[in-house]
């Protein structure tokens, strides 16, 4: 009778062990599914934020700047000047606001709100074209003179150097 009771305990322990292993495997599958859902949600949120930023950049507010940057060489003036020669059609504030969008993009990347590869794929052309413009570079140099603006230039430089993994 003792042998039968021992056998019953061993069989019960074996089935409890199998149940425990199955519970652990189910927990692992749930953790993977949760992580996958979180990653998918982050990608979706990143894409939505990028599309909102793109709407701002492509909106009529910056049409003059974008057209001048994309249609002319890097020395083409964006900002209206009182000196002789060609004059741009935008103000310092317009250019600062335009490049400020890319500054915000840099902050969003640093704070992991936007996936760097998505940002690079979506905005690298716009940033590289803007970066090459003499007025944009002058505006950034002038902004670097202010303590609060050093981070702006840093983020733009970081983003300009960003390469997807």
The pTM (predicted TM-score) of the whole model is 0.66
Residue 133 has pLDDT above 90, yes or no: yes
CB atoms within 10 A of CB 94: 19
Is 150 among the domain residues? yes
Burial 2-18 (b: 16+ CB within 10 A, else e): eeeeeeeeeeeeeeeee
The region, left, alpha or beta by phi > 0 then psi within -120 to 50, assigned to residue 112 is left
Number of compact structural domains in the chain: 1
Kindly state the average pLDDT of the residues 39-44. Answer: 86
The region, left, alpha or beta by phi > 0 then psi within -120 to 50, assigned to residue 139 is alpha
What three-state secondary structure class fits 111?
coil
Is 46 among the domain residues? yes
Q: Are 140 and 152 in contact (CB under 8 A)?
A: yes
The neighbouring-strand residues paired with 90 are 79
- Tally the residues of the chain: 165
| pLDDT digits 0-9 by tens, 82-109 | 655 557 788 888 999 999 999 899 999 9
Is 131 among the domain residues? yes
Is 23 among the domain residues? no
Kindly state the average pLDDT of the residues 21-26. Answer: 88
d(CA 73, CA 124): 18
The neighbouring-strand residues paired with 79 are 90
Is 10 among the domain residues? no
Is 4 among the domain residues? no
Is 34 among the domain residues? no
Domain containing 118 equals: 42-161
Q: Are 119 and 109 in contact (CB under 8 A)?
A: yes
Q: What are phi and psi of 151, to 5 degrees?
A: -70, -35
pLDDT of residue 12: 87
Is 87 among the domain residues? yes
Nearest CA to 140 out of 129, 149, 128, 148 is that of: 149
């Amino acid at each position: 009778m003792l042998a039968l009771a021992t056998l019953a305990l061993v069989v019960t322990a074996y089935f409890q062990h199998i149940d425990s292993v199955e519970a652990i495997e189910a927990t692992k599958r749930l953790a993977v599914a949760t992580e996958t859902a979180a990653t998918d949600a982050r990608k979706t949120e990143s894409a939505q934020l990028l599309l909102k930023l793109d709407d701002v950049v492509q909106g009529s507010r910056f049409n003059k700047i974008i057209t001048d940057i994309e249609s002319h060489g890097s020395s083409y003036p964006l900002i209206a000047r009182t000196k002789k020669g060609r004059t741009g059609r935008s103000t310092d504030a317009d250019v600062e606001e335009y490049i400020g969008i890319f500054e915000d993009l840099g902050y969003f990347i640093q704070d992991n709100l936007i996936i760097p590869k998505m940002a690079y794929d979506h905005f690298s052309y716009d940033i590289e074209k803007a970066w090459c413009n003499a007025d944009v570079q002058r505006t950034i140099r002038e902004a670097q003179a202010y303590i609060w603006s050093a981070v702006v230039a840093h983020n733009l430089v970081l983003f300009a150097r960003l390469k997807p993994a």
